[in-house]
Amino acid sequence: MISPGTTSITTSYTTFDSPLGELLLVGEESDAAPGGTALTSLSMPQQRGVAVQPRWRHDPGRFAEAIRQLRGYFAGELVRFELEFRTAGTEFQERVWRALETIPYGATTTYGRLAEDLGVSRGDVRALGAAIGANPLLILRPCHRVIGADGTMRGYAAGVEAKIALLTHEGALQPTLI
């Protein structure tokens, strides 16, 4: 039962067939957001622990703008998303996630450089990596653009192959010829 004076937030979801497989988009009602939905999660098929919950409502119409922008991204026509996000991380996670949005399309940065930009001490770089790994908005908050200092592709929630595919799509990596 909902107490008087409180409101219930409806969580909606839909799926989107992308070049990387079926993406799961989840959001909550928001009067200010395009389509009336603020995104809370965008996940990929390879991610563990991400599944549709019974209380969520399947409502593809609420995600029309997000899907339009994702189509534009995958078509190479859009390099920055203009969507409302509503995430529930710690203060530190939210700070790291916002910083991810500043990494330009087609570019990469390292964990160390991002830590330096955020004023995170060397001792807290692991916490930075954990915050990046907990990013609930894959692609939209481009954690795939953070790589190892030696150029290696460090972990990615949807798998290193997806990270490489996204960086290749953005032109940050050259396609591998076989």
Which residues are known to be catalytic? 143
User: Which two structure tokens, joined as six digits, stand for 36?
Assistant: 């009336």
Per-state percent for the chain, helix, strand, coil, to nearest 5: 35, 20, 50
The one-letter amino acid at 77: E
DSSP H helices in the chain: 64-74, 91-100, 111-118, 125-133, 160-169
Q: Answer yes or no: are the C-beta atoms of 143 and 156 closer than 8 Å.
A: yes
Burial 36-47 (b: 16+ CB within 10 A, else e): bbbbbbbbbeeb
**Calpha distance 11→2 (Å, rounded):** 16
Q: How many residues does the chain have?
A: 178
Which residues make Cβ contacts (< 8 Å) with residue 130, sequence separation at least 6? none
